[in-house]
Each structure stands twice: as structure tokens, then as C-alpha cells.
Amino acid sequence: MNSIHDMGGMHGLGAVRAEPNEPPFHEKWEGRAGGIVEVMTFPENFPGDRFRYLRETLRPDLYLTQSYYEQWLYVAEQILLEAGMISAEELRDGRAGPSAAKRNDAMRADAVWGFLHDRAHTGRKLAEGPRFAIGQRVRARNMQPDGHTRLPRYARGKTGIVTRHHGGHVLPDAHAHWQGPAPQHLYTVRFTARELWGEAANPRDRVNLDLWESYLEPA
Amino acid sequence: MSQHDHAHEDSAAIAHHHDIHSELPSDPALRVKALESLLTEKGLVDPATVDAWVETYESRIGPRNGAKVVAKAWVDPDYKRRLLSDATKAIGELDMLGNQGQHMVALENTPEIHNLVVCTLCSCYPLPVLGLPPVWYKSAPYRSRAVLDPRGVLKEFGLELQEHVKIRVWDSTAEVRYLVVPERPAGTEKLSEEQLAALVTRDSMIGVAKVKA
């Protein structure tokens, strides 16, 4: 979707401000929020790409003003609401409704290390070989899907060269909308800074993007 | 239903929930507290597990892991070769945190080539080797300009690259995560692998700084 999250190439968002010796969490609630979102019980077969998609659906004004972990909270609430695992009333009240059943399968503390070790792989074996070869010139399609995609606006319609092939990977565009993994070949495509940004860009600079096969056409 | 129609219906359903989110406390600390107690009551979260997750990222998974990879690559040319050809496997050799389901690619900085990693669309980051990303990495200023004006962004970090240096920006997505192997600074020939690791900063492994001796 063409929303505020797709900000590569924008001006006006200010200078980068790095904090020396930044801690992992600035306040206690950030760690709680991060932890809840990672270790809570998810809906069955929840596609990881939907997590990213849901963050993109945050209202643009809130996307720019809320902190990262506040945005995670929004995503967690949204995941649980749309799966019917919590109700709007429960969320408002901060307590379970009278008829709510209590589950007993929450992740245990001693399972965290293994959980972080064994996150699901997105790699998939594909029967068909790759359509594009390393070294081939390709153009990123001009497409404007209103759902999730990993093709940023700044690369659409631009021509680059395939430099790596990563095998088959789950397609975020389908997976984020519960349409199954629909795996495709994934490539790294190298664009010159001039192709992306015009003559004023440094002629030596390049930008590399990982792009799925359906994002590309021969150039 | 086509993918387009499906996504359209999806976004309409999500917009329907926006009112609910806007009724929640604006103080995130209160909002988290309410959510945690609700989920605990429903058996969807065990607070002790949240503690364990926080503890893991505060003390066990962080840029010290990546620094060990870099220092080993500096002192062991065979390891460096393996790291640059298959980073997922080479990092796995060190038995830190497995690969977290992420394909890793290592990028070598040289006097001629400077690599810089960003995720313009969200916050993809090599978690197993660097831990959780810093705020600036997830911020709009960095995400918007690292691809458009990498030299300007690097200046904001105090790093001015010479005109002849080629910049390679990697706008990463979830499936492949990038680790920059910074240049080993001059004058470190006598240091041990452990001493070298202590010099390697998180920022140098994202590509916004050089390692100083």
C-alpha cells in the first residue's frame, strides 16, 4: 500500500539523531510491549508478513508520531481483535469478559531461547527454476497494490541488474493477507543511484533491493 | 476473489477497528499494563515469559555477538572467506543464537567500497548478531534519506567519505539480513581476537561508522 511507511526518498523528516550508548529499552513499558508482542499466543498459522502489513495500516499521523513500541502494541491488539481472541470491550476494560475461557498453552519462560533460535524460515523449494539470471537487466514493475508489498515506490519502473538469487521465499504480498505462502524466487537487484534519483546523484553509488520474481520484468 | 479485492476488503475491516484503538489510554505505559493483565487473565501471555524475553535482549543478544563475528573474520582469512560466501552458515559456526530463520549476508567494507544497511519499509535488522535495532535505525529521518542521500546521512554520523569511495546501500527486507564487516583499523596488528572484538561497534556493523583503533 502506498502509505507513509514507504518513506524511502522522502525529504523533510529531519536529521538523524543517534543517542550514544542507547539501552535496548528506554522505559520499562517498552520491554513489556516488545515481549508481549513476541511471546503472546498468536492465532493459528499467523503469517509473519501480516505483522508488518498491520503496522502499515496505522493512521499515517500516528505512524509518524507514535514510538516504535506503541506501534507494536497497536499491531498486537489488532491481531488479537481480528482473530476474535479478545473483544473490543475486554481491550477497553483491561480485563476478561464474564464468559471468557482461559487458555493454558501460553509460551513458558524456558521456551524463549528456543523460540528465538527457531523462528520460521521463509525459504521454500520451488519446482520451477528462476526466470532471471544473475547479470540480467530487469525492470521493477510499475504497480500500486493497496495491500502489502515489499517493492518500495522509489524503485517502481526503474531498471537494475540481478546480482544474487536467494532461492524461493514466501511472497509477502499474498501471505500478509492470509492467501498462503505463494513462494517465488527472490533476487537482489542493484540499481544505480542515478537511475533512482537522477543526474544529481553520485555516479559511483548503488542501491540494492531484494525483490520477488513477480515484481520484475525483463528490461 | 482477486488479490486486489482481498487486500481492499482487508483494509476496510482494519479501518473498522481504528475507533477501538483510539479509545485506549494515550499513555503507552498504561496501555501495556492493561493489555498484559488482560492477556495474562485469558492465558494468552505468561508474564514470566515476557521477563525472560526482556532479559534475553538486555543481556544475551546484542552487538557483542556481531563483534565476535567481525573480529574472527579479521584474524582468520578462511573464516572471512566462509563468512562472505555463506554468512548464515559461518555465523552458525559460532553457536550464538542460530540463524533465527533469517538468511544472513555479510558485506565487506574496503577503502574503495562502503556498505550501508537500511530498511526503508519497516525495521528489518540482523537481530541474531546485533540484537534489537536502535531508535535512529527505525526512525523516519534515517529510513527516508539513507537511500536518497547516503553521504549526507553519514555526515550526520560524523563520517565523511572521500568522493572516490563507492557507496552500496542495502535496503533490506525480512528474508535476507545484512551485516557489514567494517575495515580493520591500522595499528591493531598486535591485538588478540578478543581485544579486536571490543573495538567493533554496532554502528560500524550497520555501516554508519568506521572502527577506531
Return the H-helix or E-strand segment holding A207. strand A206-212
pLDDT at B99 over 60: no
Chain A residues lying within 8 Å of B173, measured CB to CB: 150, 172, 209-210
pTM of the model: 0.96
Q: What angle do CA B45, B131, A52 make, to 5 degrees?
A: 60
Mean pLDDT of chain B: 92
Considering A9-18, B4-13, B171-180, the range whose residues carry the highest mean pLDDT is: A9-18
| Residue A52: pLDDT band with limits 50, 70, 90 | very high
The confidence score (pLDDT) of residue B3 equals: 67
Task: Give the residue numbers of B annotated as catalytic, written as ranges.
Answer: 119, 122-124
In the DSSP assignment, the letter for residue B182 is: P
Residues B38-42: what's their mean pLDDT? 97
The architecture CATH gives domain A125-218: Roll (2.30)
Residues of chain A with CATH 1.10.472: 28-117
Task: Among A13, A31, A207, select the one facing B147 at the smallest CB separation.
Answer: A207
Q: State the cell numbers at A15.
A: 536529521
The confidence score (pLDDT) of residue B40 equals: 97
Report whether CATH 2.60.40 matches the domain A28-117: no
- Closest residue in A to B176 (Cα–Cα): A210
For the stretch B13-24, pLDDT in tens is 887 788 888 888
Burial of residue B95 (CB within 10 Å: 0-12, 13-18, 19+) is exposed
ipTM of the complex: 0.96
Q: Residues with Cβ < 8 Å from B60, sequence gap 6 or more?
A: B97
Residues of chain A with CATH 2.30.30.50: 125-218
Task: Among B37, B132, B168, select the one facing A24 at the smallest CB separation.
Answer: B132
How many beta-carbon pairs under 8 angstroms link A with B? 311
| Chain A: closest CA distance from residue B6 (Å) | 7
The confidence score (pLDDT) of residue B100 equals: 56
CB contact under 8 A, B101 and A113: no
Q: For an interface test with A, which of B23, B26, B38 has the most A Cβ atoms less than 10 Å from its Cβ?
A: B38
| Residue A121: pLDDT band with limits 50, 70, 90 | confident
